[in-house]
Amino acid sequence: GLGIRSLAMITAGSNFAHIIEDDKRPEHQLVQHGIYRVLRHPAYFGFFWFSVGTQVLLLNPICVAAYAWASWKFFNERIPFEEALLLEFFPQSYPAYRRRTVIGIPFIDASGA
């Protein structure tokens, strides 16, 4: 998970930010190569599976459930918000990109964004 997150951050370069940007910068591009060819939000995917996976490795079933719930809740709010902005920033290319990629976190549906 952490490796996928790091790869996503490196691949996105200056297009990656820890804080969601409300305004599109002139140089902002929709990254569709590398890991982004398959995963729409690979940094989120990586963090989610890293947080849950660490608890699985520690054989800690209570924390597996707690980390899965907390991480899922966070991303279930964040991803649809970000998707709405990306649709606004890239109205011509984002809908097709969204159709051919996956989020990879269970039960997160951003199709209504």
- pTM, two decimal places: 0.91
pLDDT at 15 (0 to 100): 92
pLDDT at 109 (0 to 100): 82
Quote the CA–CA distance of 58 and 48 in Å, as a whole number.
Answer: 16
pLDDT at 28 (0 to 100): 93
Query: Which residues of the chain carry a pLDDT beneath 70?
Result: 112-113
pLDDT at 110 (0 to 100): 77
Quote the CA–CA distance of 93 and 45 in Å, as a whole number.
Answer: 22
